[in-house]
Amino acid sequence: MCATVILMRPDLVADVSLTPDTTDPRPLPTQLAQQLKTLITTGLLNAGDHLPSTRTLAQQTGVSRGTIVATYELLIAEGFLVSISGSGTKINPELGKLTTPAFPHSDGSHPKPPRPTSAEIHLTPGLPDTSTIVDATWRAAWRKACTAIAVTNNAPEAGDLNLRNEISEHLRLMRGLVVEPERIFVTAGSREGLTLFLRALPSQHPTAKIVGVEAPGFPSLRRIPESLGFALHNIATDSAGLNPKELQSLPDNQSVLITPSHQYPYGGVLSGSRRIAIAHWARDTGSIIIEDDFDSELRYVGQPVPALAALAPENTVLLGTFSAVVSPAVACGYLVVPHQLIPALTHLRSISGQPVSSITQTALTHFMRTGALRRHIVRLRRIYRRRRDSVMAVLTDLPNATLLPITGGLHAVLLCTRPAHEIVAECAKSGIHVTALEDYWGGDNAENGIVFGFGCHDDDTLDFALHEIAHATRSK
């Protein structure tokens, strides 16, 4: 359906007319967002033009105000609109006049995207897009935190109770996990949380000397147990994640580190039957499951899967972090622990202190209390799903290469016939930095391929990088 616009005086808003199409199967916000984008890309709306309020445009269009709010949020997330407190919503002044999207060539192929202005493009696995987090709600949360600084930083050992209450509510709404705040410890991220747990473990499990780890698996956390004197025990994984039968090789009263929501590098999600089997194993052997819940909210197929901690709460430690959904720079996460570990963890915190500042904890509390974090995660899912679809569109059908499933998370793994180090070097010539899978592989016998992140760059930059990767896999 068509949309029209009447530009009024510069000090007023544009009179925008949008037309919902009842025959279009797409959601109304998606329809209306596309109509607004057409008005922008064809020049009928210019950079800096003010748009009507959501209430006014809803009345003009004959839809609910919530539909217009969702429409504006879609376009804000994509960079077409900006919303400034006290100034309303307007076309992004930095946008300039866009041209209509390029059409495929006559042979069906797509034209190679232009090179972005950035000389070097680092596709770091797991790195998120932080460009959409800084809005009025985010700034207000930090202003409140900075104007309410206590004379001393006497945060409880487990962390600010208000923040732990918000984390408890977040887990209930986003992960289907009911957790009492007293079981939550605020940490400086997954690594610090894992370190804290492993230091406390001997007080409850004196014979705990081994940590089982997925092989292959994500390499970053594997180094921590060894640094604390624990031995690593590789446990085989497949496309469906960790195989519970392999746990029989692990002695009783030990720990196992698992990523059930998004196994690396194969992308599998641990099935319900395997989750139940692992929970039974932990209870029967007195062992502890260390559940790495990194980026579990960022799923592109179905809803976020339930946490293992819901099945075996007294045998599971859940590692959570805000790095993927807020920013690694915030350096804040959390542990959900069994009741019996609370005294030991509290004692350790009384010695080492709470590593996350009161300002950071207070700001996150305000941000989460408004529901802004949940809304932000919903926006991120849309953005990352679109970028994940771009990865699949460019790399799925490459000859002599296999793109592993991307059901969630912020990285992609491409298995290749051409030696990985040659692909890495070829991409580097174009300023595209990817990583050989063997350099990002926990375990033995790494497969030949590359791993790269697709979350932190805008769509055009990512599109350029993907075509360069595709070219590098074909070159000889």
pLDDT computed for residue 106 by the predictor? 38
What does the alpha-carbon distance between residue 433 and residue 427 come to, in Å, rounded to a whole number? 6
Give the H/E segment covering residue 211. strand 210-215
pLDDT computed for residue 285 by the predictor? 95
Contacts of 87 (CB under 8 A, 6+ apart): 50
- What phi and psi, each to the nearest 5 degrees, are found at residue 27? -60, 150
More confident residue, 418 or 301: 418
Contact predicate 185/193, CB 8 Å:
yes
**DSSP type of residue 303:** S
What does the alpha-carbon distance between residue 18 and residue 1 come to, in Å, rounded to a whole number? 9
Q: How confident is the model at residue 102 (pLDDT cuts 50, 70, 90)?
A: very low
pLDDT computed for residue 194 by the predictor? 97
Mean pLDDT of 188-217: 92
Q: Which residues lie across from 15 on neighbouring strands? A: 6
Mean pLDDT of 300-306: 66
pLDDT computed for residue 200 by the predictor? 95
Q: Which residue is associated with the tokens 């460019």?
A: 394
Which of the residue ranges 6-10, 133-137, 330-334 would you say has the lowest mean pLDDT?
Answer: 6-10
Mean pLDDT of 394-415: 92
pLDDT computed for residue 241 by the predictor? 84
Q: Which residues lie across from 215 on neighbouring strands? A: 236
Domains of the chain plus CATH, in order, are 28-97 (1.10.10.10), 121-127+375-474 (3.90.1150.10), 136-370 (3.40.640.10)
What does the alpha-carbon distance between residue 12 and residue 90 come to, in Å, rounded to a whole number? 11
Token reading at 443: 């375990």
pLDDT computed for residue 7 by the predictor? 38
What's the pTM value of the predicted model, to 2 decimals? 0.74
At position 297, the amino acid (one-letter code) is E
Percent of the chain with pLDDT over 70: 89
Residue 17 has pLDDT above 80, yes or no: no
pLDDT computed for residue 150 by the predictor? 58
Residue 443 has pLDDT above 80, yes or no: no
Which of the residue ranges 163-167, 215-219, 329-333, 461-465 would you say has the lowest mean pLDDT?
Answer: 215-219
pLDDT tens-digit series, residues 235-289: 988 878 888 999 999 999 999 999 998 888 877 788 888 999 999 999 999 999 9
Q: Report the chain's mean pLDDT, rounded to a whole number.
A: 86
Q: How confident is the model at residue 295 (pLDDT cuts 50, 70, 90)?
A: confident
Residue 100 has pLDDT above 50, yes or no: no
Contacts of 350 (CB under 8 A, 6+ apart): 157
Burial class from Cβ neighbours inside 10 Å (0-12, 13-18, 19+) for residue 415 reads middle
pLDDT computed for residue 115 by the predictor? 65
Entry field: residues in the chain: 476
pLDDT computed for residue 97 by the predictor? 42
